[in-house]
Amino acid sequence: MADQGEQSDTTHFGYKQVPTDEKASHVREVFTSVADKYDVMNDLMSLGIHRIWKRYTIELSGVKRGQRVLDLAGGTGDLASRFARMVGPEGEVVLADINAAMLRNGRERMIDKGIVGNIDYAQVNAECLPFPDNYFDCITIAFGLRNVTDKQKALGSMQRVLKPGGRLLVLEFSKPVTPGLKPIYDLYSFSLLPLMGKIIANDSESYRYLAESIRMHPDQQTLQGMMEEAGLERCDYHNLSGGIVALHRGFKL
């Protein structure tokens, strides 16, 4: 598949096949459409549980005062705002996203919270990060990797800019492992989720894509293998909410 490093003329966009070089623009359109309702929909879709998943990510980040943190696909800044407080004025947090509308919303939220001085903003493609080698102590990407066209290339790019001793945390929807959960989750994803998108964001198709993109994302073991292939070590993962979400972790040694 194209998103695992092989050359191909097409790749998946949800369940559809699109030209590989057009996927990023399709993803950009989805998130431009949902940007203004992103936080409201996150709370509704997960019944607020996404905050617990993100809190767990922060706990496992090991971020300390004075460190540099890159929050990729950072959206409206849920993780970046916490990291900015953790690293203090002598540290640095980069809130990065490929989508200008999401990044703009994130920046406005940070300013509203009074978070300035130690946070920067960058519109970037995760596959080709414009940062020096061995630069960040910690990199996070929450619910963003599944939208990347070439996931293997992106993981390699993250490994490159990570300092020796640093860690990468990938929080992403995954494959349910609790018996009996999958049919309930499928019903919710393909019936209720697009309906909520239509009612709240006036956009059912974008949320149908989100449900499909989750199903096309590598499962826990596959993603762990991809992180190892990218040069990360001591890779592991923690299933959350019965495997609906998994937090993957890898270190650059």
Q: How far apart are CA 43 and CA 40, in angstroms?
A: 5
Check whether 97 is labelled as a binding-site residue. Answer: yes
- The two tokens of residue 58 are 């922060």
10 Å Cβ neighbour count for 125? 17
CA dihedral 30, 36, 40, 45 (to 10 degrees): 0
Cβ-based neighbours of 199, under 8 Å, separated by 6 or more: none
Check whether 147 is labelled as a binding-site residue. Answer: no
Angle, alpha carbons 95-222-8 (nearest 5°): 80
Nearest to 46 by CA among 126, 161, 142: 142
Residues linked to residue 140 through DSSP beta bridges, in sequence order: 71, 169
CA of residue 130 relative to chain centroid, distance: 18
Cβ-based neighbours of 9, under 8 Å, separated by 6 or more: 19, 20
Q: Does residue 176 contact residue 244 with C-beta atoms inside 8 Å?
A: yes
Q: How far apart are CA 94 and CA 68, in angstroms?
A: 8
Check whether 125 is labelled as a binding-site residue. Answer: yes
Q: How far apart are CA 224 and CA 230, in angstroms?
A: 10
Q: How far apart are CA 72 and CA 95, in angstroms?
A: 7
Check whether 84 is labelled as a binding-site residue. Answer: no
- The binding site consists of 76, 97, 125-126
- The binding site for S-adenosyl-L-methionine consists of 76, 97, 125-126
